[in-house]
A and B are shown apart, each in its own frame.
Chain A
Amino acid sequence: MGRDGIAEPWGARTPYGRGQRWPTRVDTHLQEGVTAGDVDRWVRTASLLHSNGDAMDIAVRDGRIVGVRGRADDRVNHGRLGPKDLYGWQANASPDRLRRPMVREGGRLVECDWPTAMGRVVARSRELLDERGPGAIGFYTTGQLFLEAYYTLAVIAHAGIGTAHLDGNTRLCTATAAEALKESFGSDGQPGSYTDIDHADTLALFGHNVAETQSVLWMRMLDRLDGPEPPRLICVDLRPTPVARRATVHLAPRAGTNVALLNALLHEIIRTGRTDPAFIEAHTVGFEELRDRLERCTPAWAADICDVPARSIEQAADILGSAERLTSTVLQGVYQSHQATAAAVQVNNLHLLRGMLGRPGAGLLQMNGQPSAQNTRECGANGDLPGFRNWENEEHVAELARLWNVGPDDIPHYGPPTHAMQMFRYAEQGTIRMLWISGTNPAVSLPELSRIRGILNQERLFTVVQDLFLTETAQLADVVLPAATWGEKTGTFTNADRTVHLSDKAVEPPGEARSDLDIFLDYARRMDFRDQDGGPLVSWHDPETAFEAWKRCSAGRPCDYTGITYDKLRGPSGIQWPCTPERPDGTERLYADGMRWAHPDMAESYGKDLVTGASVTEVEYRSLNPDGKAVLKAAEYLPPHEPPSPDYPLQLTTGRTLYHFHTRTKTGRAPQLNAAAPDVWVEVCAADARAAGVAEGDLVDVTTPRGSVRAKARISAIRPGLLFLPFHYGYWDTASGHEPAEDGPGRAANEATITDWDPVSKQPLFKTCAARLRLVSRGDGPAPAPTTTSAAPFPPHDVPPTTGGTAAWTDEYVPGGEGEARR
């Protein structure tokens, strides 16, 4: 059996019933002309192009990657692979990979050797430390490196340089997941497990287009939906996603109104007596206040704000309220919106009010976007203290100081870490003078790009960019460091349900490219960072010794890795933390036995005001939650900051497509993925298109007060009044290189987005601003948008279906043969 993995991204169904094991289906894609018999060896890894952690083996022949195969025995994917897993690896061998370091000379980037490049980085670091202090240096990393590199970077920044300016682009994707978990449970840490999908009688997806962001997780849900005793499915999404098409109830609220909708759902749960009083009493604080604050939040009240029928809200609340095994997931529709944390916390509240935690099928998954975002968070490469330690708890800081053998005051902890948006603000003001950007592309991915380009272009700002390609951001750098990627280096990473995988080196990196870990280790050596006894601050020298160092840091914390070794990760595939010598098989669900991590002595955070972001003090937290229970937190709805107006009558939201990841640095270089979605488009409903005189494929400008994006129109079933732009497209594959052609409208959605963020998680809101649509010229064919996804044309036009042809052929093998997989 097999499929065109572009045309049929989710493949054949292998239906299963509640409580049964999800059947195995092994997906394999090999380069055309290569058969399994030609493969020299298979090297173990997992997907690095989304957060699902699909386990796979890399096929190597003659020292080159020639394909991938899903790993049958892994708990995450049972052998399956999605489109980005199947074809993304080809980018590794792209001819335009960076092979040598570069430095800026006379305004131009020129190739050089490593000592020259690192020499400049070290010289500038020392100069700034002498002249301006550690606050002049900032690090902006990613959710795509390995654990070992993050931990090393975190030690360098926190205790080597001594700066609080350290964050990852996880700020754009997963900061709200972390913050919402801290607010409700005292600490980060994913409560649920993917196996909850096997047991659930109800699935609720909040702003989570799982079919496109974690396609293998959607395969699991589809197999439940097609099996006996299928779960009911609630979908909250303002686009006509594949999930919405299968939903029992689909709620498509007006952009920026999630809190109103969720408050009404909780209001109904309480009004109809569907709470679990024993669970609330035993495991939570704050119920009375939440109940009082929700009193006025009726479905009729929310219906006006959200533009959703009150009856649909009641129907959804009835399903959520009658579920016996409820699994919920949350992603960018909530996280990148107005009042992000406030909304995500209400989903936590739903599970707390109904006692839906810690047992099979009662799963809460605050999802991640990027493959190793979990490690950015736990290692403290997002600025938090490593191991989910609390910067306001002197004992936590002292513990880290002992571990690193430095003084507690050598670790900045006088305030929260500086989040990415604030770091760019400090760079704009000129108080940060050096930014080291690793594995991320802010010149395309941050909001309001003309401003970001202006900041990166400043003469006074020294930028180091460490990446695989000469990205838009790298083109603006002072020093460019060529990095090795997935398949070319060894390390571990952890997916959204706490599953740890080892990724082994399969092939050599191109030219002189080095692993991110080696680059950071080299910097630490050259900077000669010392502990308080004169020994080296960073005492490890390769991936496995870095992993062992991290294990010591994680000991006794929620993300305890002390029971994991590289050898063990080479055994049965996929281990969920916490994993200790006492729990050698890992832990499937958190909170099966109480709320331990919310205790004031243990908690990673004392919490924040969900509307203003103001800190709750230690004294207040201790009096509110002395026994360390889960905290039920209420939040009042606030209208979005940029509502539609006569000049900008529509709302604009941005997001993802199945076939691309982030700014396309890899997926744009994989032929099958690129062909499936080759250029930017804008989704608009038929009525709004008609009003603007626009038809399928016409060239239009989407304009906001920040700027314009030029795209072809796709007429879809999207909510009236709403436009959607995919955020993946930038300029590296255009003539102008890193910015729009002179004075013209752009191709990147973030030319138009607003600089505004959730004051609690500091996550920018890419999904709510006001815009207008204007016809530029008639098109000569359909928009370059896939037909297989949320961007499907509606009503169906004469648009040819998206296919990948023979180059996308994927073998599907279902062992056993009984109940043969069906389409």
Chain B
Amino acid sequence: MSGITLVLRALHHGENALADDLAAAAERHAAEHEIHHVALDLAAWSAEHGSVLRSTAKRYDLDLPAGAAGTGHHAEGPLTTALLTTVREKASRLLGGRPEPGILLLRDLRDLHLAATENSLHWEMLGQAARAAKDRELLATVSDCHPQTLRQMRWTNTMIKVLSPQVLSSLGQPGQ
């Protein structure tokens, strides 16, 4: 296995996992409307990266599995995913009137940020490997996709910055 295929495999796994995690966070926090909608938009980016990586991998005789269905706003998931989604969204709406889910949201945003950071580092490695190998086609793929991963990181960071003061100070008051 070459260095490039090693990174392709890790990144493919990471992007598909992030697509699933973003979609799951969107479901868990359905009552946080901005999180819900933007996370689904960003899940679509990662799902797209996953499929780009899968077709890229074929050029290196690497056969990667197809990503999970059911991510993004418009994909039709299998029945079980749909049911699970409904249950999670209901739970989110039932808990929507309580402050505690705020802390869970911060935790999810932190985890999403770390996952996106890991992917970003893998894109960096893939780009450098492509440069070293003078593989222009691969470099073009990296140039197309990596900026979106950086934007996913900025978004999670921004939302943490925006939401932390209210979530943490409302939990931190004595006697509550």
Chain A residue with minimal CB distance to B169?
A135
Chain-A contact segment, one of B57-65, B96-104, B118-126, B132-140: B96-104
B9 close to A (CB within 8 Å) = no
B158 touches A615 (CB 8 A): yes
Q: How far is the CB of B62 from chain A (nearest CB, A)?
A: 28
A678 close to B (CB within 8 Å) = no
Number of inter-chain CB pairs below 8 Å: 88
A613 touches B99 (CB 8 A): no
A613 touches B158 (CB 8 A): yes
A609 touches B151 (CB 8 A): yes
B154 touches A414 (CB 8 A): no
B34 close to A (CB within 8 Å) = yes
A430 touches B37 (CB 8 A): no
| Given the contacts A612-B151, A759-B38, A133 and B169 also touching, CB distance less than 8 Å | yes
B49-80 at interface with A (beta carbon < 8 Å): 73-74
A114 close to B (CB within 8 Å) = no
Contact pattern, B 147-176, Cβ under 8 Å of A = 1, otherwise 0? 000011011011001101111011001011
**Which 8 A-B residue pairings sit nearest by Cβ, starting from the closest?**
A614-B154, A431-B170, A612-B155, A614-B155, A614-B158, A755-B33, A429-B99, A615-B158
A639 and B37 CA atoms in complex are apart in Å by 12
B99 touches A641 (CB 8 A): no
Q: How far is the CB of B34 from chain A (nearest CB, A)?
A: 6
A415 touches B173 (CB 8 A): no
B173 touches A614 (CB 8 A): no
B22-39 at interface with A (beta carbon < 8 Å): 31-34, 37-38
Note all chain B residues with C-beta closer than 8 A to A612: 38, 41-42, 151-152, 154-155, 158
A108 close to B (CB within 8 Å) = no
A614 and B155 CA atoms in complex are apart in Å by 5
Having A428-B96, A429-B101, A612-B151, one finds 4 other A-B pairs with CB under 8 Å, namely: A415-B162, A611-B41, A612-B42, A612-B158
| Given the contacts A425-B32, A756-B37, A613 and B97 also touching, CB distance less than 8 Å | no
| Given the contacts A612-B154, A759-B38, A421 and B33 also touching, CB distance less than 8 Å | yes
| Given the contacts A614-B151, A643-B74, A415 and B41 also touching, CB distance less than 8 Å | no
A416 close to B (CB within 8 Å) = yes
Of the candidates B41, B158, B173, which one forms a contact with A133 in the assembled complex, judged by CB atoms under 8 Å apart? B173
Main secondary structure of the interface of B (DSSP, over half): helix
A638 close to B (CB within 8 Å) = yes
A131 touches B173 (CB 8 A): yes
A757 touches B34 (CB 8 A): yes
Q: How far is the CB of B18 from chain A (nearest CB, A)?
A: 14
B162 touches A416 (CB 8 A): yes
A529 close to B (CB within 8 Å) = no
A287 close to B (CB within 8 Å) = no
B142 close to A (CB within 8 Å) = no
A641 and B41 CA atoms in complex are apart in Å by 9
A762 and B152 CA atoms in complex are apart in Å by 18
A643 and B72 CA atoms in complex are apart in Å by 13
B74 touches A639 (CB 8 A): yes
B112 close to A (CB within 8 Å) = no
Q: How far is the CB of A621 from chain B (nearest CB, A)?
A: 13
| Given the contacts A611-B41, A614-B154, A430 and B165 also touching, CB distance less than 8 Å | no
Note all chain A residues with C-beta closer than 8 A to B170: 132, 135-136, 431
A426 close to B (CB within 8 Å) = yes
Could you list 26 A-B pairs, sorted by A, with CB under 8 Å? A132-B170, A132-B176, A133-B173, A135-B169, A415-B164, A418-B166, A421-B33, A421-B34, A422-B34, A425-B33, A428-B96, A429-B96, A429-B101, A429-B102, A609-B151, A609-B154, A611-B41, A612-B42, A614-B158, A615-B154, A615-B161, A638-B41, A641-B40, A643-B74, A759-B34, A759-B38
A338 and B154 CA atoms in complex are apart in Å by 21
Note all chain A residues with C-beta closer than 8 A to B37: 641, 756, 759
A430 touches B97 (CB 8 A): yes
A609 touches B98 (CB 8 A): no
Note all chain B residues with C-beta closer than 8 A to A429: 96-99, 101-102
Contact pattern, B 3-28, Cβ under 8 Å of A = 1, otherwise 0? 00000000000000000000000000
B151 touches A431 (CB 8 A): no
A431 touches B154 (CB 8 A): no
A414 and B166 CA atoms in complex are apart in Å by 11
Q: How far is the CB of A143 from chain B (nearest CB, A)?
A: 23
Note all chain B residues with C-beta closer than 8 A to A415: 161-162, 164-165
Contact pattern, A 413-437, Cβ under 8 Å of B = 1, otherwise 0? 0111010011001101111000000
Note all chain A residues with C-beta closer than 8 A to B31: 425, 428
B166 touches A426 (CB 8 A): yes
Most A-side CB within 10 Å, residue of B32, B34, B157: B34
Note all chain A residues with C-beta closer than 8 A to B173: 131-133
Chain B residue with minimal CB distance to A640?
B73
A614 touches B33 (CB 8 A): no
Note all chain B residues with C-beta closer than 8 A to A613: 34, 38, 155, 158
A335 and B133 CA atoms in complex are apart in Å by 47
Chain B residue with minimal CB distance to A426?
B166
Note all chain B residues with C-beta closer than 8 A to A431: 99, 102, 166-167, 170
Of the candidates B33, B98, B157, which one forms a contact with A430 in the assembled complex, judged by CB atoms under 8 Å apart? B98
Chain A residue with minimal CB distance to B162?
A415
Note all chain B residues with C-beta closer than 8 A to A131: 173, 175
Contact pattern, B 84-128, Cβ under 8 Å of A = 1, otherwise 0? 000000000000111101100000000000000000000000000
A609-646 at interface with B (beta carbon < 8 Å): 609, 611-615, 638-639, 641, 643
Note all chain A residues with C-beta closer than 8 A to B152: 612
A421 and B173 CA atoms in complex are apart in Å by 24
A430 and B166 CA atoms in complex are apart in Å by 11
Note all chain B residues with C-beta closer than 8 A to A615: 154, 158, 161
Chain A residue with minimal CB distance to B41?
A638
Chain A residue with minimal CB distance to B102?
A429
Of the candidates A135, A458, A759, which one forms a contact with B166 in the assembled complex, judged by CB atoms under 8 Å apart? A135
A639 touches B73 (CB 8 A): yes
A611 and B155 CA atoms in complex are apart in Å by 10
Q: How far is the CB of A133 from chain B (nearest CB, A)?
A: 6
Note all chain B residues with C-beta closer than 8 A to A428: 31, 96-97
A422 and B98 CA atoms in complex are apart in Å by 15
Q: How far is the CB of B39 from chain A (nearest CB, A)?
A: 10
A775 and B58 CA atoms in complex are apart in Å by 54
Note all chain A residues with C-beta closer than 8 A to B157: 614
Chain A residue with minimal CB distance to B171?
A431
Note all chain B residues with C-beta closer than 8 A to A426: 166
Contact pattern, A 754-791, Cβ under 8 Å of B = 1, otherwise 0? 01110100100000000000000000000000000000
Note all chain B residues with C-beta closer than 8 A to A425: 31-33
A611 and B166 CA atoms in complex are apart in Å by 24
Note all chain B residues with C-beta closer than 8 A to A136: 170
B73 touches A757 (CB 8 A): no
Chain B residue with minimal CB distance to A421?
B33
Most B-side CB within 10 Å, residue of A164, A431, A609, A638: A431
Q: How far is the CB of B155 from chain A (nearest CB, A)?
A: 4
A298 and B162 CA atoms in complex are apart in Å by 37
A368-420 at interface with B (beta carbon < 8 Å): 414-416, 418
Note all chain A residues with C-beta closer than 8 A to B164: 415
A447 and B162 CA atoms in complex are apart in Å by 22
Most A-side CB within 10 Å, residue of B40, B152, B162, B166: B166
Q: How far is the CB of B79 from chain A (nearest CB, A)?
A: 17
Contact pattern, A 486-528, Cβ under 8 Å of B = 1, otherwise 0? 0000000000000000000000000000000000000000000
A40 and B164 CA atoms in complex are apart in Å by 59
Chain B residue with minimal CB distance to A608?
B158
A641 touches B73 (CB 8 A): yes
Chain B residue with minimal CB distance to A447?
B33
Chain A residue with minimal CB distance to B101?
A429
Q: How far is the CB of A66 from chain B (nearest CB, A)?
A: 48
Q: How far is the CB of A359 from chain B (nearest CB, A)?
A: 36
Q: How far is the CB of A20 from chain B (nearest CB, A)?
A: 49
